[in-house]
Amino acid sequence: MAELNLYQEDDIRLETTRARFSDVLKRHAELSERLSRDSNKMIFDRLQKEFAAARASQTQEIIVDGEQWNDGLIATIRERVHMEAHRKTMPGDLSSGADILEKVTYKVGNKVICGLEGARIGIQYETFFAGEPCEIYHIVLESKSFIEKMSILEHTVPFFLPIREVENDLLSSNAMKFIDHIGELLQAYVDRREQVRLLKELYGNQIGDLYSSLPFHMIEFMLNDAECKITVTLRYADLLSVLPTRARVLVWPPSNSRKSSPGPASAHGRTSGVFVNQHFPIRLSYAEQAFQTMSLPEAYAEVVLNLSRALEQIYRQKGSS
């Protein structure tokens, strides 16, 4: 009896701690969303207008693909913007020099690259999820002269993505790779974020205590189940990954499993007998594999669909051992 009371006291303390932690997670999620949404709003609005004006004044848009996309093209763009900036400082008729005045925009996959006023180069990134357009992001590069190295002047990339590290590693040595890498980081971030959003939209009433890091490369949530507690922990190898490389799905015994259990099957068809005298969580390997090979909403649906059968199988294995 004393042991049972001790277990019950432990459960009460755990539930109290979990409730407090849930409130912290909720405030964290609200703050994260506000920071992600509002931090670059003014810069975004200004750059969006500037990019729109640049595209409206273009004389030609060139679709670039394959081997055409290389550092030589970036050098050409740099030369053009510096020649244009220099021309505007010279006295005389600004309408002369048709080749110099030609304004060309380059479309490279989901990127638009164009010259901006003041010898700057603008890159606009489009992102997508499930074929639908999502956010647009911007980076503006500058250099004091054509021969000096470029640097990031301003951008609307979320602050928690390592843009400065990528700048230091790649921009001076391989500008093309820098531009591509930033695009891959942004697309992967949007993909992970939208998977979480869709999971909450479709199954929000079935999950609880959902936590995610700002770049959505660490995700944790709990599956609300009448029979037991199921926790899901997902980790991504890096910020370019769209599927988790590590997944841990644990089934935790309910508090009443420390008492005698009525039998192997519950009214919901789930297995409660699996937790008889079970004080430690059980891993669901099939669920971990699903989360590592499918998008988050698809994996969740697969896990729930096969949960009863998986628990029954665990019960039979334990019963025969």
Domain locations along the chain? 1-35, 39-191, 204-320
> What is d(CA 259, CA 92) in angstroms, rounded to the nearest whole number?
93
Q: Which residue has the tokens 């006295």?
A: 91
pLDDT at residue 135 in the model: 95
pLDDT at residue 289 in the model: 97
pLDDT of residue 265 exceeding 50, the answer is no
pLDDT at residue 235 in the model: 97
Note every long-range contact of 277-286, with CB atoms under 8 Å and residues 24 or more positions apart, other chains counting.
Answer: 278/253, 279/253, 280/253, 281/231, 281/250, 281/251, 281/252, 281/253, 282/250, 282/251, 282/314, 283/248, 283/249, 283/250, 283/251, 284/230, 284/249, 284/250, 284/251, 284/310, 286/310
Among candidate residues 96, 150, 91, the one with its CA nearest the CA of residue 122 = 150
pLDDT at residue 145 in the model: 83
Among candidate residues 289, 278, 215, the one with its CA nearest the CA of residue 246 = 289
Among the residue ranges 16-30, 33-47, 80-94, the one predicted with the least confidence is: 16-30
pLDDT at residue 88 in the model: 78
pLDDT of residue 134 exceeding 60, the answer is yes
Which carries the bigger pLDDT value, residue 220 or residue 19?
A: 220
Please name the residues in contact with 87: beta carbons below 8 A apart, sequence gap of 6 or more.
Answer: 94, 97, 100
Radius of gyration over every alpha carbon of the chain, rounded to an integer in angstroms:
27
Q: Dihedral through CA 154, CA 158, CA 159, CA 163, nearest 10?
A: -60
> Is the separation of the CB atoms in 187 and 197 below 8 Å?
no
Within 10 angstroms of residue 260's Cβ, the number of other Cβ atoms is 8
Amino acid, res. 153? L
Among the residue ranges 29-43, 137-151, 167-181, 215-229, the one predicted with the least confidence is: 29-43
pLDDT at residue 224 in the model: 77
Average pLDDT value for residue range 275-296: 86
> Is the separation of the CB atoms in 192 and 182 below 8 Å?
no
Among the residue ranges 43-47, 101-105, 141-145, 165-169, the one predicted with the least confidence is: 101-105
Ramachandran class of 120: left when φ > 0, alpha when ψ lies in -120 to 50, beta otherwise: beta
pLDDT at residue 180 in the model: 97
Distances from the Cα of 136 to the Cαs of 113, 176, 177, 256, in angstroms?
13, 19, 20, 51
Among the residue ranges 82-86, 224-228, 240-244, the one predicted with the least confidence is: 224-228
Pairing status of strand 104-108 against strand 60-64? parallel
Average pLDDT value for residue range 231-252: 96
Torsion 35-41-47-49 (CA) sign: positive
pLDDT of residue 261 exceeding 70, the answer is no
